[in-house]
Structures are given as C-alpha cells and as structure tokens.
Amino acid sequence: MQHTFFCVDGHTAGNPVRLVAGGAPLLKGKNMSERRQDFLNRFDWIRTGLCFEPRGHDMMSGGFLYPPTQEDTDAGILFIETSGCLPMCGHGTIGLVTFGLEHGLIQPRTPGKLKLEVPAGIIEIDYQYVGNKITAVTIHNIPAFVETTGIMIDVPELGSLQVDVAYGGNFYAIIEPQGNYHSIDQLGAAAILKYSPIVRTLMREAIQPVHPLDPTIKGVSHVLWADPQTDRLRGRNAVFYGDKAIDRSPCGTGTSARIAHLWHKKQLSVGEAFTHESYIHSQFIATIAAETDINGKPAILPLIQGSAISTGFNTIWINQEDPFHKGFQI
C-alpha cells in the first residue's frame, strides 16, 4: 500500500518547514488539541515517515493545514516534528502560513490577517505581502509564562547548573550564563547536543509542569541555552529539540518563553522589541503585546515576527513495503 504526500518544502530563518498540502489523514476531535491526540494514536507513522531519515533528518519539522473547528477561524494547524506533534511551533507557523498563503491553500477572510487554531489554543496572524509573496509574518502567540525558577541540577562532566522553566507553547528549560556555562560558542554545538538531553532528563525528574488549561500539554521538552546579553534588547539562543536538533531559527515558542522569562525578571517591558538571534544568527523580533494571566498565573502575550522562504515542491511516497516506511533515527 502506497501513500502519497504533496509537500511544499522551505525554511523559516534556516529551520526546515515541510507543509504537507496533500495526503493529510481525516482526524477526529472537536479542537486541534483533540485532533493532535487522535493523530498521535492512529497516524504517527506519517510523522515519523516524513520527518525521520531517509525522507527527513534530525531537524525536520512541518505540519498539515486542517479545516477549522470554529466558525470564526480560518484554518487549523497540526505540527509534525522529529520529537512528536508539538502543541505550538513558531517557526513552523511562520513557514506554514507563508507557503499556505502563497499557494492558495489558506483563504483569509480579511487580507493581511488570520485567526488559526493550533493544539495550544487560538493564535492570530498579521502578514505583509507584495503581490502573492509573503514578506513577513507576525504571530500573536498564546500566553507565555514562567513556570518556576532556580532548579539546581548536576550534569555529569559539566557540573551544577541553575535552570528556570518557562512556557511559550512548549515548556523550556532555560539556562543563562553562570559558573559552569559561559556562552553558546564556548560550549559549542557538539557539547550542546551532548548535554541538552541530559539536562532535559534531569529537569523531567525535578519538575513535571502541566499547562493550566490543557493537561495534554505537559513536561519539559526543549532546552534553551541563552548567550550573555550585551544589549538588553538583543539576545541569542541555542534551542535543543528532539534527540539531536539545534533549532536553526531563533525558535518562536522558545523566544516567547524567553521574553516571558525576561519580563518575569523585570528585564523587558510591554511594548519593547527584543531581537532574538539563533545559533546561525538568523533573527526574529519579539514584543510583549500585553500582560495577562492564566488562572491567576501572571503571563504575557508575545508577538513573534519572522519570515520564511519556500525551496520547492516535494512529492513523497511512503510505501508500506519499504522496510523504512516509518523512518529511522540513529
């Protein structure tokens, strides 16, 4: 049995985005969170087949567009990635929206604006365009908040680290410069890939955060290493996800978590634009639109702006007779 997936491939600030425009399975559920669970239960082979080798690679991510479940929204998004189906993905949203609009797969009710359903909630989008080219996408992200601060872990070889946890669509372990960690470049990519899974395991032993509005969103999934800041309104991060990936983009949900973290520490205020750089120095601009709360927990509403570029169409077959139809990771 062979399944065919029509994809638009591209990248947001260097990180891959695969918009699966044809071949999406029909999902059950009254919102994208329930559809996400249905996909994970019944169709996860599609994610692994499209994201893992030999059709993908360690950083591969993307998603499907679905009809909305609410009357006042334009579309639903299901994210796929090497680590699973994320509740929210910022670089993914920027890419999926760009490619979806450029190829007529999303029909906005109001030009320049979209309201989208993602598993983590409802997001709004402003986009700029010249002709049918999308030049910039701004995400009005779901509320971001600090979960906890000052967790001490002991990482073999590296030593003790103080770690904070913040949510921006996924739960992030945030490591700022300190005694045993000085900067992204001093640690280097190989050490980030070596230590991040250990940090994540130790953090999962220390804390099990659960989203106050959706219990299916839980657990520290990503690790954000922050560089020393020479300017209060600029920062650089290396975000680790999956088993072997450093985000090539500044990471939309990581940036949301980071600005909530800086706001919590009174280092960033409402309305200030924060330039966030990735490992490869690509950029998003992040702004705190407003302060809010979730069930009494202080939170912010992040705006994340970036852009994406498509690199081509990709028709991918997954044939169940292929011994690697579900993909593999080494």
Q: Which of 127, 167, 171, 241 binds ligand PYC (CB under 6 A)?
A: 241
Detail the DSSP E strand segments found in the chain: 2-12, 15-22, 61-66, 75-81, 113-118, 121-130, 133-140, 145-155, 159-167, 171-175, 220-226, 234-241, 245-246, 273-277, 283-294, 297-306, 308-319
- Decide if residue 90 touches ligand PYC (CB under 6 A): yes
Reference 225, options 244, 250, 260, 252; nearest CA is 250
- Decide if residue 161 touches ligand PYC (CB under 6 A): no
For 307-327, letters b (16+ CB in 10 Å) and e give bbebeeebebebeeeeeebeb
Number of residues that bind ligand PYC (CB under 6 A): 13
Smallest separation, CB 255 to ligand PYC (Å) = 8
Instruction: Name the phi and psi angles at 79, rounded to 5.
Output: -85, 140
Q: Segment near ligand PYC (CB under 6 A), from 62-70, 100-108, 153-161, 244-252?
A: 244-252
Handedness of CA 156, 149, 213, 307 (dihedral sign): negative
Residue 183 · residue 227 · CB < 8 Å = yes
Q: Segment near ligand PYC (CB under 6 A), from 153-161, 201-209, 241-249, 311-319?
A: 241-249
Query: Nearer to ligand PYC by C-beta: 86 or 299?
Result: 86
- Decide if residue 143 touches ligand PYC (CB under 6 A): no
Smallest separation, CB 254 to ligand PYC (Å) = 6
Query: Nearer to ligand PYC by C-beta: 13 or 156?
Result: 13
**Stretch 17-46 residues interacting with ligand PYC (CB under 6 A):** none
Query: Nearer to ligand PYC by C-beta: 162 or 216?
Result: 216
Within 10 A of 104 (CB to CB), how many other CB atoms are there? Answer: 9
- Decide if residue 283 touches ligand PYC (CB under 6 A): no
Rounded alpha-carbon distances, angstroms, from residue 76 to 68, 170, 208: 5, 18, 28
Q: Segment near ligand PYC (CB under 6 A), from 84-92, 106-114, 193-201, 265-273?
A: 84-92
- Decide if residue 249 touches ligand PYC (CB under 6 A): yes
- Decide if residue 89 touches ligand PYC (CB under 6 A): yes
Smallest separation, CB 16 to ligand PYC (Å) = 10
- Decide if residue 287 touches ligand PYC (CB under 6 A): no
Distance CA 61, CA 131 (A): 27
**Stretch 50-79 residues interacting with ligand PYC (CB under 6 A):** 61
Smallest separation, CB 227 to ligand PYC (Å) = 18
- Decide if residue 252 touches ligand PYC (CB under 6 A): yes
Rounded alpha-carbon distances, angstroms, from residue 49 to 41, 76, 325: 15, 22, 6
Catalytic residue among 7, 51, 85, 251: 251
The answer to whether residue 89 is catalytic is yes
Smallest separation, CB 62 to ligand PYC (Å) = 11
Distance CA 190, CA 140 (A): 34
Distance CA 119, CA 18 (A): 18
Query: Nearer to ligand PYC by C-beta: 14 or 180?
Result: 14
Query: Nearer to ligand PYC by C-beta: 73 or 93?
Result: 93
Question: Which ranges of the chain does DSSP label H, i.e. alpha helix?
Answer: 32-42, 44-51, 90-102, 184-187, 189-206, 252-264
- Decide if residue 211 touches ligand PYC (CB under 6 A): no
Inter-axis angle of helices 90-102 and 252-264, to 10 degrees?
Answer: 140
Active site residues: 89, 251
Binding site for ligand PYC (CB under 6 A): 15, 61, 86, 89-91, 241, 247, 249, 251-254
